[in-house]
């Protein structure tokens, strides 16, 4: 790269806007960080994920916080549960979707606009923002604002510590194969199981096989107005919403 190219590259970098991945926390706006609150209230461009035809949970959390002239960028998933995770079409369609979202954000950044991307929970913890981040890295300035993950709100809602002493905690996805769930449930002292929804019966069977069922809790909509906390055994046959977490508390060393 010659001197003129270096100058042009430097000028380009200077005018690019920053893409912010802003963690919103578990759902209660009062559990959001001060930095996240400040960025949201001053942002001109705000992007968020949602299911087609739905307002989106992330957008709901920030209702009333955005400036009147905000430009909202709704990124609607092309597929959620309509295609099985094991179907090659699932990854292909999502990959195309994230590529389109990335291109849209890069266009805004190249035009000098900062963009706040809303992320439920923490941006780097099983969230969609990660898929944008890996595609944008090296092409646009990026900043990440961490947040309280939803599982922290869930275990606090039970009123019991999730771990003690040397407890090992495993975070499992309900989408995992049943035999994998059983193995991990047996190996860990404390458990957090996410992505419940239609996987609830598989999770019940795995907990029973691992001998952990009677100690499991179900937390729905942690830190949200609809929050509900109960023993999993008390919710037999219940259809669980997407925003549900199953917990098994550790019982390790304590003074």
* Predicted pLDDT of residue 82: 61
| pLDDT (0 to 100) of residue 200 | 94
pLDDT tens for 75-130 read 999 976 666 666 778 788 999 999 999 999 999 999 999 999 999 999 999 999 99
pLDDT given for residue 2 in this prediction: 52
Per the CB < 8 A criterion, the answer to whether 118 and 22 are in contact is: yes
Six token digits for residue 76 = 């609607």
Reported as a single tens digit per residue, the pLDDT across 10-37 is 555 558 999 999 999 999 999 999 999 9
Q: Between 2 and 160, where is the model more confident?
A: 160
CATH 3.40.1010.10 domain range(s) in the chain: 3-148
Place of tokens 């795995």: 206
Q: Residues in the chain, how many?
A: 255
In CATH terms, the fold of domain 3-148 is Cobalt-precorrin-4 Transmethylase; domain 1 (3.40.1010)
Distances in Å between the Cα of 124 and the Cα atoms of 16, 52, 56, 148 are 23, 23, 19, 11
Per the prediction, the chain carries an average pLDDT of 92
Residues 190/248, Cβ–Cβ less than 8 Å: yes
Whether residue 6 is predicted with pLDDT greater than 80 in this model: the reply is: no
Query: What percentage of the chain exceeds 70 in pLDDT?
Result: 92
Q: Which three-class secondary structure string do you get for the chain?
A: CCHHHHHHHHHHHHHCCCEEEEECECCCHHHCCHHHHHHHHHCCEEEEEEECCCCCHHHHHCCCCCCCCCEEEEEEECCCCCCCCCCHHHHHHHHHHHHHHHHHHHHHHHCCCCEEEEECECCCCCCCHHHHHHHHCCCCCEEEECCCCHHHHHHHHHCCCCCCCCCCEEEEECCCCHHHHHHHHHHCCEEEEECCHHHHHHHHHHHHHCCCHHHEEEEECCCCCCCEEEEHHHHCCCCCCCCEEEEECCCCCCC
CA gap 185, 206 in Å, rounded: 8
Q: What is the pLDDT of residue 207?
A: 98
Q: How many CB atoms lie within 10 A of CB 80?
A: 13
* Cβ 167 vs Cβ 50: under 8 Å: no
Tens digits of residue pLDDT in 33-66 = 999 999 999 999 999 999 988 889 999 999 999 9
Percent of residues, the chain, with pLDDT higher than 90: 82
228-242 mean pLDDT: 90
As annotated, the residues of the chain forming the CATH 3.30.950.10 domain(s) are: 151-248
CATH class of the structural domain 151-248:
alpha beta
Question: Who has greater pLDDT, 5 or 229?
Answer: 229
């Amino acid at each position: 790269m010659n001197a003129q190219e270096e100058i042009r590259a430097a000028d380009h970098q200077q005018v690019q806007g920053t893409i912010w991945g802003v963690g919103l926390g578990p759902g209660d706006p009062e559990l959001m960080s001060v930095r996240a609150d400040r960025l949201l209230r001053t942002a001109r461009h705000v992007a968020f994920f949602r299911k087609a035809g739905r307002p989106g949970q992330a957008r709901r959390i920030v209702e009333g916080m955005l400036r009147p002239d905000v430009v909202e960028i709704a990124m609607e998933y092309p597929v959620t549960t309509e295609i099985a995770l094991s179907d090659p079409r699932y990854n292909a369609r999502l990959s195309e979707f994230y590529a389109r979202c990335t291109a849209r954000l890069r266009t805004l950044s190249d035009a000098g606009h900062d963009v706040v991307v809303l992320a439920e929970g923490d941006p780097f913890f099983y969230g969609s923002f990660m898929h944008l981040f890996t595609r944008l890295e090296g092409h646009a300035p990026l900043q990440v604002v961490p947040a309280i993950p939803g599982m922290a709100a869930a275990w606090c809602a039970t009123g019991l510590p999730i771990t003690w002493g040397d407890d090992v905690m495993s975070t499992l996805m309900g989408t995992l194969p049943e035999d994998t769930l059983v193995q991990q449930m047996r190996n860990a002292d404390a458990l957090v199981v996410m992505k419940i929804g239609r996987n609830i019966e598989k999770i019940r069977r795995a907990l029973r096989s691992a001998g952990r069922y009677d100690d499991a809790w179900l937390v729905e909509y942690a830190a949200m107005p609809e929050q509900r906390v109960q023993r999993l055994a008390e919710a037999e046959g219940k259809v669980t919403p997407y925003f549900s977490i199953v917990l098994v508390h550790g019982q390790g060393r304590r003074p």
